[in-house]
A and B are shown apart, each in its own frame.
Chain A
Amino acid sequence: MPDKKPISSVNDFVVRFANVNGSGSASANEMFARAILRHGVPVSPRNIFPSNIQGLPTWYEVRVTEAGHLGARGGVDMMVAMNPQTWDKDVAGIEPGGYLFYDSTKPMPSTKFRDDITVIGVPLTAITNSTYTDPRQRQLFKNIIYLGALSALLDMDPKLIEQLIGEQYKGKEKLLSSNVHALHLGRDWALQNLKCPLGLRIKKSDKVGDRIFIEGNSAAALGAVYGGATVCAWYPITPSSSVAEAFTAHCKKYRHDAETGKAKYAIVQGEDELASIGIVIGASWNGARAFTATSGPGVSLMTEFIGLSYFAEIPAVIMNIQRAGPSTGMPTRTQQCDIIACAYASHGDTKHVLLFPEDPAEAFEFAAAAFDLAERLQTTIFLMLDLDIGMNHRLCRPLKWDDSKQYDRGKVMTAEMLDEGRDFGRYLDVDGDGIPYRTYPGTHPTKGSYFTRGTSRDRYARYSEEGSVYADNMQRLVRKFETAQDLVPRPLQANAERPTKYGVIYFGSTSPAMDEAIGLLETRGHQLDRLRIRAFPFHSSVASFLAEHDFVYVVEQNRDAQLRQLIVNENGIDPVRLVPIVHYDGTPITARFIAKAIGDHQDHLKVTPLRKAVS
């Protein structure tokens, strides 16, 4: 018996799998997460993986959360330690009273364990080797065998796992039955040799509802399909590659002509990010909806073209799946670190529209909306995802689409309009919103053509280096950006139960951790109004929120509090009133972190918690 009382918890704990990458563990681990969902219990899984293909440590963490907290929690209640390389650190990371599950085929010295945890040894290698001879089979089925053992230990319904195996190997009977066999090998061994179940248990519930389980990158790619993207140009870079790969898969399913089988899309893997954005700009200039997906280093390479898109006013959609920078940084770790780089990308005076989805459902919506915005505003739209949303399965509301929706192709002057005698000035603001009309190449034999250029030109696209002409154009671009404020998704505000002088601003993947942190802060007696920013340029409600509160915490996942900088810069407010709460070690931000940082600051301000004040 351990020194400390074993943790006892139903539907609320964290299991972490420590594996070697390339060992085939990923699909078994994902099946574990899905199986819990099938019990009606929400989970939030996260892959923690190296920038490597085979041999290095990788972890898969499953937060089981009946309460539906989908942010990372921090701490590990049960470690499934399958990697000798990281054993010591893995064992050290278990919460006191937690559980260690390991392969007990080879005896381990007692010094390798801890006294305050429950150790569960299953001779996985021995079971595997006595059943299978093929080395690859041994490796793959070992994963399913530990899944079987865990199902017994955590009191899971094996039928639900069998159902998942059945769905995965539909039509492949041999694989199906051998996987089910392996599952029961592990489960039966555990039932016969161990005390099942443990203090950690899965109990059937009904908290999942109609929610879906999807990676943000796949959802964003589907948003591009629904949003009418026909050209995709990309260059492989973690963690964005799966956007283009998912777009390819979705297009194969949805975008082939029923009669001819021909593709209603074109995907080009560029030679680099320069070519990718060049292709996007060329296609958009010519009236197609086009996008690229990349990450920080790719955005750095694209900045010259982004300036062209801004100045020559060409639509473009860039999905930036952020990772930890600068330089190569930590390619497989998450951050929200490209806010400034994207908001002001390129030389000269430039500003760009940024969209901040909080989860895959919003990634889908915003991706589709990005194409309307790009064509309406004739400029670059950044969809700012990050690795945490992009590459992890996340439980979210089902994706929705309104069939009556038509694409907003923006201000496009047609041959008919030109023939009617409409005055066409490519950079002429006809109605005060700062957005000019454009024509597609090849529109009319004698009217509406113009020479697109990154150099200064007048309202009729004629080359000019006149200062007044240049300034006139730059002012119009400012007006256009003001127009954008009312077109982009608005911030969402949620007020505390009682009026408070304190507020918090957050965005993107911080959402679930923030929602959970609010609860933790309330138990400490701190009341905070919340504002989730969903886009840049900031809507006027951001300024109102700042005005209504004495102090506003800005929670973000980068070192330099980039969103805070942007708010200070764009709203001209006293920086002292904006308190940075930054998390930037590459792991996803947690509710515990936020609650502690804000709570400590509130205590420092000598705020008397409301609870105490009223009691």
Chain B
Amino acid sequence: MTYIAKPKFHHPGLKKNELGYTHRDYEGKISTLCAGCGHDSITASIIEACYELSIEPHRVAKISGIGCSSKTPDYFLGNSHGFNTVHGRMPSVLTGANLANRDLIYLGVSGDGDSASIGFGQFAHSIRRGVNMTYIVENNGVYGLTKGQFSATADRGSKSKKGVTNTDNAIDLVAIALQLGATFVARSFSGDKTQLVPLIAAAIGHKGASFIDVISPCIAFNNHAGSTKSFDYVREHNDAVNRLDVLVGRDPIAVDYAPGTVQMVEQHDGSRIALRKIDADYDPHDRLGAQTFLARHAAKGQIVTGLLYVDPDAEDLHAHLDTVETPLNTLEADTLCPGSAALDKFNASLR
């Protein structure tokens, strides 16, 4: 399998966004994943979200680790730079890239093996540093590329395709992200584009560490009876706390929800999130409440989806480090080098 070219032509009548780009401008190469893979649906949602936000495609940096999920950045935003790094190490590479140029949008794409097993540490530390990024885990509970071993997000008691029962406890990345101080935490399902697209759009607009856990069934190795990450299982156990829309610029999407059930959240970049509450008591600004809610539902075997927590006034790593507004990668010797006069003084102080 070598590089597969994707035809560039498109229907002249294709709808254009505010910047004049069509959907096609946000696409990448043809996916080489299995037909029906949940990851391809997430790819489609990322494309949709970027199109709707009218992002300039080349102003996104796509960074991933290793695994099926980490291959997907090649399949969207073909005019963006992508970096398929090292297994489990996407978060550190993304952190460095973000430090170098604060003006780009950073999209981290990872999987459950990549983030919950080998890269659990990097996942945790990038979240606690508050790196301004959208961190998406395409979570199928299984190692797809190496043919079906359990990952650390596989639920205890779930069965592999070969009939082996998992006896280890599962890591819930959403619960961990909440505990570590992520300022935007959501869960969704690859099969629920209506929920996922606005979540991704809102996460991109969020200035801080955004984390989205997307349950994405592996049709080759984890879509059988006994799996808790199969299409059927997730559809049956999905419990959405809210539905949302992201309103950007001058062309807001009409909100037709009944008054009283819609909560508006304004983000730092000026975008607004319209949250349609399904669970009337759910407060997405309450970190402790979200943790409790999550734990209570997990005990009942329910997979809670939606926007679980958001801090609209979040600060990012650049704010913590108090770095200049100009991207560091544009600074040259005239601003970075103290020069020979300063060096002479330095020398004098060492005699």
Binding site for B on A (CB under 8 A): 37, 208, 210-214, 222, 225-226, 228, 230-231, 233, 254-255, 257, 260-268, 270-272, 274-288, 290, 304-305, 308, 398-403, 405-407, 439-446, 449-455, 458, 462-466
Contacts and interface: CB of A to CB of B under 8 A. Distances in A.
25 contacts: A212-B350, A230-B100, A254-B342, A257-B324, A262-B323, A262-B324, A266-B328, A271-B124, A275-B92, A275-B122, A278-B85, A278-B122, A285-B83, A286-B100, A304-B86, A308-B85, A401-B337, A406-B333, A439-B81, A441-B58, A441-B101, A445-B58, A449-B78, A449-B80, A454-B85
Contacts of B89: 274-275, 278, 305
A242 to B, nearest CB: 15
B170 to A, nearest CB: 23
B333 A451 contact: no
A218 to B, nearest CB: 9
Contacts of B323: 262-266
B340 A290 contact: no
A271 to B, nearest CB: 4
Interface of B: 1-3, 56-59, 61, 63, 73-74, 78-86, 89, 91-101, 103-104, 121-122, 124-125, 129, 317-318, 321-325, 328-333, 335-340, 342-344, 346-347, 350-351
Contacts of A308: 85-86
A211 B121 CA distance: 46
Contacts of B94: 282
Contact of A279 (B99, B329, B333): B99
B234 to A, nearest CB: 30
Nearest to B62: A451
A214 B343 CA distance: 13
A449 B96 CA distance: 19
A211 B222 CA distance: 69
A271 B325 contact: no
Contacts, number: 239
Q: Which A-B residue pairs are the 6 nearest by beta carbons?
A: A278-B92, A282-B96, A288-B100, A441-B81, A287-B329, A279-B96
Given A399-B347, A446-B79, A466-B2, A228 B336 contact: yes
B182 to A, nearest CB: 16
Contacts of A208: 351
A464 B83 contact: no
A441 B328 contact: no
B328 A214 contact: no
Given A401-B337, A407-B333, A271 B74 contact: no
A63 to B, nearest CB: 19
Contacts of A465: 1-2
Nearest to B90: A278
Given A213-B350, A403-B340, A458-B3, 7 more contacts: A265-B323, A266-B318, A266-B323, A267-B321, A286-B61, A407-B333, A440-B81
B95 A278 contact: yes
Contacts of A264: 323-324, 328, 331, 335-336
Contacts of A37: 351
Given A282-B92, A283-B99, A449-B79, A213 B84 contact: no
B80 A441 contact: yes
A403 B56 contact: no
Contacts of B104: 286, 441-442
Contact of A271 (B122, B317, B324): B122
Contacts of A284: 96, 100
Contacts of A304: 86
The SS class assigned to the A binding surface is loop
B336 to A, nearest CB: 4
A288 B81 contact: no
B96 A401 contact: no
Contacts of B343: 226, 399-401
Nearest to A281: B93
A451 B74 contact: yes
Contacts of B82: 449-452
A261 B323 CA distance: 9
B1 to A, nearest CB: 7
Contacts of B129: 268
Contact of B96 (A226, A255, A283): A283
Contact of B86 (A267, A278, A283, A290): A278
A233 B85 CA distance: 17
B337 A228 contact: yes
A399 B346 contact: yes
Contacts of B96: 231, 233, 278-286, 288, 290
Contact of B58 (A214, A266, A399, A446): A446
B120 to A, nearest CB: 11
Contacts of A399: 343, 346-347
Contact of B328 (A231, A261, A402, A466): A231
Contacts of A254: 338, 342
A263 B61 contact: no
A443 B346 CA distance: 38
B242 to A, nearest CB: 33
Contact of B340 (A276, A285, A402, A455): A402
B28 to A, nearest CB: 9
The residue among A210, A263, A275, A451 with the most chain B CB atoms within 10 A of its own CB is A451
A444 B324 contact: no
A279 B80 CA distance: 20
B322 A452 contact: no
Nearest to B83: A452
Contacts of A455: 84
A282 B98 CA distance: 8
A437 to B, nearest CB: 14
Contact of A440 (B124, B329, B332): B329
Contacts of B80: 441, 449
A275 B324 CA distance: 23
B21 to A, nearest CB: 9
Contacts of B57: 445
A270 B126 CA distance: 10
A21 to B, nearest CB: 25
Contacts of A226: 337-338, 343
Contacts of B61: 286, 441-442
B351 A271 contact: no
A225 B84 contact: no
Contact of B2 (A285, A400, A463): A463
Contacts of A450: 81-82
Contacts of B121: 271-272, 274-275
A462 B2 contact: yes
A401 B340 contact: yes
Contacts of A267: 321
Contacts of A444: 58
A228 B332 contact: yes
Contacts of B1: 463, 465
A282 B63 contact: yes
Nearest to A262: B324
B100 A287 contact: yes
The residue among B57, B78, B83 with the most chain A CB atoms within 10 A of its own CB is B83
A412 to B, nearest CB: 10
